[in-house]
Each structure stands twice: as C-alpha cells, then as structure tokens.
Amino acid sequence: MIRVLLADSHQLLHLGIHVALSSVSEITLVETVVCPHQLRQLYRQCQPDVILLALNIVEPPCIEIVNNIQQQCPAAKILLLLHNPNEICLQQLRKTNVAGAILKSDTPEKLIEAIQTVAAGQPWFSSILLSQLLQSRKSEEGNKLTEREVTVLQLIAAEKTDREIALELNIAKSTVRYYLEQSNNKLGTTTRVGAVVEAMRQGFIQ
C-alpha cells in the first residue's frame, strides 16, 4: 500500500485528488493539510510513502518548506504539484532535490503513475515540465557572462577607458565595445555603468 500525504491550500483540490486516487486500491490518501507547520508534524505521525506538495501552499514559500522537510526528514519522497510554473519557479525547482513534479493540468492517470513511480524510488516529472526546465536551464546558461566579458566589466569598474582596456588586453577598441554590448544584452542593461552595477548585483564581479 502506498501512503500519500497531500498538502495544498485548496479544499476542492483535496476532494478531486481523493476521488482520483480512490480508484486505485494500492494507493491511500492518509491525510490532507493546508498549513506547512501541520505538514512537518503529520509527516512524522503518518510516515507517508509520498508527500504530494502543491507549490502554492500558504506561507512560508514552498521551496523553503521542501528544504526544511528534506533536512528534518531525509527519507521523505516529495512530489510537487504545480500550476503554470513561471521562470522564477522553474529556477527554484532546479535547486531542490524533489523526487518528482506534476502539473495540475495533467490527467488523473498521470498523477497515479507519478505517485507509483516516486514511491518505488524513481524520479517522475511531467513531460511538459521537463521541456520547460530544459529551456529554462538553456536560457540561464545563455545569460552567463564569459570570462573576457567579466574582465572588461572589471576594468570598466576600475574607471578604465575603452582605449586603456584595449591596450591592457591587447585587443581592438571595437572588440572592447563588442564585449560591453554582449554584457548589456545578457544583463538587460544599456549603459557601461548599468552593466557594471548589474554584474556586481549578480555576483559576476566584486
């Protein structure tokens, strides 16, 4: 028997998931909660095989809840239930070590498959979500500054002119401007000062 603990702030969702899981004899919904503090306590009491955790659960943020649960209960298998995740959500999701994630738009059959797979110790992610995660990762990697772009910004921060930077790096002034333009595009800025400030904010330069 697979024991599932559901955590979500929407009562109607609780009912829908209960109906979906009731058709499978090997899965039982042992408890439902809306408060993250209850979640930590009930996990210890119920010892579920899978925690079905909605990302829109009430404060504190779900990612913080995931990290706390994994620290306190390392054996917990967490299956996230997501609704149209945005870019910030996808970036946070990549930083967690959850067993899987499913979209609320997925079918009941997919939910059952996800629970069974995660309970068996295998990862399960919605195919749509996997595509979004891959695209998010590619986008993030594409926005990383190169070593030479960082060097140019560091010299700009040191109040060097394009000519001085070109001489120091043994490159043309047009190449210096090219690196600055690339940095502006990646950082979402439009000026030398803006690029330096944003690069500092993101930790590319000190």
Higher per-residue confidence, 89 vs 8: 8
Arch. (CATH architecture) of 147-201:
Orthogonal Bundle (1.10)
Higher per-residue confidence, 50 vs 60: 50
Give pLDDT, residue 139.
59
**Rounded CA separation 108/91 (Å):** 26
pLDDT digits (tens, 9 = 90+) for 170-205: 988 888 999 998 888 888 888 998 889 888 887 888
Domains 2-140 and 147-201 share a fold: no
Give pLDDT, residue 140.
60
Model-level pTM? Answer: 0.63
Looking at 3.40.50.1000, 3.40.50.2300, 3.40.50.300, 3.40.190.10, the CATH number of the domain 2-140 comes to: 3.40.50.2300
What is the domain partition of the chain in residue ranges? 2-140, 147-201
**Rounded CA separation 115/111 (Å):** 6
What percent of the chain has pLDDT above 70?
85
pLDDT digits (tens, 9 = 90+) for 10-46: 777 888 898 889 889 999 989 888 776 777 788 888 8
Q: Residue 76: helix, strand or coil by DSSP?
A: coil
